[in-house]
């Protein structure tokens, strides 16, 4: 059976170096989940796994976070038959001038889908946009969770749970066990 780690490895998702995310978060590891789109079979397997994860949350609708969450949410919607919408960080400058693409009905239980969860603040615009139209965000579902307890607590305080296919710690542990990463490697994050 293929694991998330295997898909990451085959798709060259994990990158090492100095990365600055949104100008606020610096880390020595980066997950370019969009690399999986290069291999439709790997993307299919990954979104099967994500679909199984989403089903456990039993949402009325899934919402893909702009931009990486859009292809993930689309595939999950097609596999689960759960309706989908999309959310932007900022409103469109034309047409409806909305942050929401599609429709979220008042009181719908929502799972937001994205590729990686690191900091709560990176999701505030998505959360507000969903709440402003009456959606009830119950979960954020991601492929990779950095696993910062303080950031998870901020979500939990709003009644939102994070669910993920894997964590950064799990990926690092597997890479070390397989000799793909030096045993003295330490995750470095500053925010």
pTM: 0.94
d(CA 147, CA 166): 10
User: With 80 as the cut, is the pLDDT of residue 22 above it?
Assistant: no
At 24 the pLDDT is 80
Q: Can you give the three-state secondary structure of 16-40, one letter per residue?
A: EEEEEECCCEEEEEEECHHHHHHCH
d(CA 167, CA 57): 19
The domain 4-190: what is its CATH number? 3.40.50.2020
User: With 90 as the cut, is the pLDDT of residue 106 above it?
Assistant: yes
The domain segmentation of the chain, as residue ranges, is: 4-190
With b for 16 or more beta-carbon neighbours within 10 A and e for fewer, the 111-141 pattern comes to bbbbbbbbbbebbebbbebbeebebbbbbbb
């Amino acid at each position: 059976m293929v694991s998330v780690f295997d898909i990451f490895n085959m798709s060259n998702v994990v990158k090492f170096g100095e990365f600055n995310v949104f100008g606020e978060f610096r880390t020595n590891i980066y997950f370019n989940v969009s690399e999986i789109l290069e291999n439709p079979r790997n993307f299919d397997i990954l979104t099967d796994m994500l679909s199984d994860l989403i089903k456990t949350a039993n949402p009325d609708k899934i919402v893909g976070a702009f931009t990486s969450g859009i292809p993930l949410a689309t595939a999950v919607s097609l596999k689960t038959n759960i309706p989908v919408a999309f959310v932007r960080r900022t409103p469109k400058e034309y047409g409806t001038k909305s942050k929401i693409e599609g429709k979220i009905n008042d009181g719908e239980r929502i799972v937001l889908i994205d590729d990686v969860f690191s900091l709560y603040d990176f999701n505030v615009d998505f959360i507000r946009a969903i709440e402003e139209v009456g959606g009830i965000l119950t979960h954020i579902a991601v492929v990779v969770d950095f696993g910062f307890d303080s950031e998870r607590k901020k979500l939990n305080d709003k009644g939102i749970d994070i669910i993920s296919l894997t964590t950064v710690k799990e990926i690092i542990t597997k890479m070390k066990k397989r000799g793909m990463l030096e045993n003295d490697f330490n995750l470095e994050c500053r925010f």
